[in-house]
Structure 1
Amino acid sequence: MTHIPDILCIGAAHWDIIGHSPAQIGVGDDVPGQIGQSPGGVAFNIARTLAQHGHRPALIAAIGQDAPGTALVTAIKAAAIDTRFLVMQDGARTDSYLAIEGAQGLVAAIAASAALEALDLSCLAPLQDGRLASRDTPWRGPVVVDSGLSGGLLQQLAVAPELRSADLRLTAASPAKAARLRPFLARPRCTVYLNLAEASGLCDTPFTDSASAARALLHLGATRALVTDGPRSVTDADASAELTLSPPATTARRATGAGDCFMGAHIAQELGGAARRAALEFALSAAAAHVAQPPNQS
């Protein structure tokens, strides 16, 4: 690719191995189902959704220099994502994510993220050396950052001059990692996309609805907060307005990646100039279509 990206996605790209069964799954259960492997990771999933909607995302992620890494880079290119700024880590194994889904949704997951956790501030080199931007001409477009990055790197990114003019779009890799995003909340132009459990983790407060969670995130310093609560509600709030909608009814057939799909679709609509309600409705419909797809299909 030789075109200039219109959005950067910094964070996880790995192989997803997901087992899905229509049964309720308990500890120690052995149930029939399907097992599939596909490219995944929060930053990759968001970039793929943006590309599907006609945008030009570039991915900044850590990939091992091994056979799975070579295959993953091929898959990322096939998704029309700019791979020029991937960090190829010599001697590292490419990351992977193993999840079990049952009738109740996600049952358990394990993330092997050593390559991602080892990523350091040198990943911003393209924003310093003129390939994407420079210190004198900073990047002014959107930048997606996911909390799967190490806590130390996230603290550095929160004050990095290379991102001083960026439209920051933050999301959590899991409720346990949501608190890593706190250093960003004092920054201007900072929008957070979280589910209810992640918002509770970041705020260290249990919430019962998306609206109260979004208000709490604004109180902590976020410029804007979008909080999803599964099939119940989603709230988009900033200092000027608060909008809460109900997602369309759907039969969920899978769980992994719904939030990434929602976020990617929402950003795509806003980059395209959609009004606030229209962008939110579109993103909800995209997420509903995602969870309604058969397991292990993209």
Structure 2
Amino acid sequence: MTQTPDILCIGSVLWDVIGRTASHMRAGSDVPGRISRIPGGVAMNIAMTLKRFGLQPALLSVVGRDAQGNALIDEAQSLGLICDHLYRSDDLPTDIYMAIEAANGLIAAIADAHSLEAAGDKILRPLADGRLGRADAPFAGSIALDGNLTEELLRTIATSPLFAAADLRVAPASPGKAERLLALIGHPSATLYVNLEEAGLLCQTAFDDSAAAARALIARGAHRVLVTDGGDAASEALGGDVITAAPPPVLVTRVTGAGDTFMAAHIASERQGLDRPASLARALQAAATYVSGDTPL
């Protein structure tokens, strides 16, 4: 029997292959460490965190009909995520992300998310065919959307009646894809979650702090934004009102997935009735706990 989701997570669902070492690294370094393969991708990371906060997320993405895809879906279902609406492709392989993290941060990463881009709007079919909504009765809940989608598809989403009633929460997949979110800047219900670098790319400038970045994004036409800045203060702006809070200081042991954890914790906090300052503080705490290594992968 199909479960009813509390929130939809649309975007990348793939395997993360992460190499981590306690050593400092530079180009050409060869050091001991640990290599793990875990469920990942922005949509998956957000969904896993939402589940830990007591929500019931459903995934909308593409997963290949290959051994890697079958194993990924088995893992996602074991975590309690709804996978009924995933698009399964006979021709496209399951996507994968590979990264190397060291004591001095993220050293390098490659995202092989070509299947998600190739699938295009096929992943949105459940929002149109009556399973989750229709054009004349669009999905009216929360949607977490990631910037791994093509710019063309994000432009379609910005004006699509299928998203007209949704509480849309949006994050870029990486700084390299941040400018894709320009298509959603004017969306009347979209909340953008970006870091300081991504905010600068969207505004074509550099910012000294998150509050200035948040104000600039609102001035550019964004409905609502949250801007993080690593271990420095983060800010949320809604209209002309900007609030700022500092994350708790922690020893950083991992970085991949931290922004997704922040976004999911913030969404969950608001759905559970916390006000804006409390939601921001809880999201910062969740992200800090994650990067310190104190939460499950």
Instruction: Determine whether 1:32 maps to 2:32.
Output: yes
Q: Match for residue 53 of structure 2? A: 53
TM-score scaled to structure 2, two decimals? 0.97
**Structure 1 residue 294 displacement after superposition:** 6.8
Instruction: Determine whether 1:291 maps to 2:296.
Output: no
In the alignment, the residues of structure 2 paired with residue 146 and residue 202 of structure 1 have an alpha-carbon distance, to the nearest angstrom, of 15
Q: Match for residue 264 of structure 1? A: 264
Q: Match for residue 120 of structure 2? A: 120
Instruction: Determine whether 1:247 maps to 2:258.
Output: no
**Structure 1 residue 41 displacement after superposition:** 0.3
Q: Match for residue 97 of structure 2? A: 97
**Structure 1 residue 226 displacement after superposition:** 0.2
Q: Match for residue 14 of structure 2? A: 14
Give the letter for the 1:131 counterpart: R
Q: Match for residue 82 of structure 1? A: 82
Contact 2:7 2:143 in 1 (8 A): yes
Contact 2:99 2:109 in 1 (8 A): yes
Contact 1:39 1:72 in 2 (8 A): yes
TM-score scaled to structure 1, two decimals? 0.97
**Structure 1 residue 256 displacement after superposition:** 0.6
Moved beyond 3 Å, runs of 4+: none
Instruction: Determine whether 1:153 maps to 2:150.
Output: no
**Structure 1 residue 89 displacement after superposition:** 1.2
Percent identity over paired residues: 46
User: What is the correspondence of 1:228-247 to structure 2 with a 5 Å cutoff?
Assistant: 228-247=228-247
Give the letter for the 1:219 counterpart: A
Q: Match for residue 220 of structure 1? A: 220
User: What is the correspondence of 1:165-204 to structure 2 with a 5 Å cutoff?
Assistant: 165-204=165-204
**Structure 1 residue 240 displacement after superposition:** 4.4
In the alignment, the residues of structure 1 paired with residue 202 and residue 85 of structure 2 have an alpha-carbon distance, to the nearest angstrom, of 29
In the alignment, the residues of structure 1 paired with residue 196 and residue 275 of structure 2 have an alpha-carbon distance, to the nearest angstrom, of 24
Contact 2:237 2:243 in 1 (8 A): yes
Number of residues of Structure 1 aligned to a counterpart in Structure 2: 297
Larger displacement relative to structure 2 (232-241 or 9-18): 232-241
Contact 1:254 1:294 in 2 (8 A): no
1:236–1:213 Cα change, 3 Å: same
Contact 1:121 1:157 in 2 (8 A): no
In the alignment, the residues of structure 2 paired with residue 48 and residue 29 of structure 1 have an alpha-carbon distance, to the nearest angstrom, of 33
In the alignment, the residues of structure 2 paired with residue 101 and residue 294 of structure 1 have an alpha-carbon distance, to the nearest angstrom, of 17
- 3-state secondary structure, aligned to 1:156: helix
In the alignment, the residues of structure 2 paired with residue 189 and residue 163 of structure 1 have an alpha-carbon distance, to the nearest angstrom, of 10
In the alignment, the residues of structure 1 paired with residue 84 and residue 204 of structure 2 have an alpha-carbon distance, to the nearest angstrom, of 38
Contact 2:178 2:202 in 1 (8 A): yes
- 3-state secondary structure, aligned to 2:235: strand
CA-to-aligned-CA distance 1:236-271 (integer Å, 9 cap, x gap): 111142111110011111111000001001100111
- 3-state secondary structure, aligned to 1:120: helix
Larger displacement relative to structure 2 (255-264 or 72-81): 72-81
Name structure 1 gaps, 5 residues minimum.
none
**Structure 1 residue 107 displacement after superposition:** 0.9
User: What is the correspondence of 1:53-72 to structure 2 with a 5 Å cutoff?
Assistant: 53-72=53-72
- 3-state secondary structure, aligned to 2:8: strand
CA-to-aligned-CA distance 1:182-212 (integer Å, 9 cap, x gap): 1111110110001111112222211221111
In the alignment, the residues of structure 2 paired with residue 107 and residue 218 of structure 1 have an alpha-carbon distance, to the nearest angstrom, of 32
**Structure 1 residue 123 displacement after superposition:** 2.2
Name structure 2 gaps, 5 residues minimum.
none
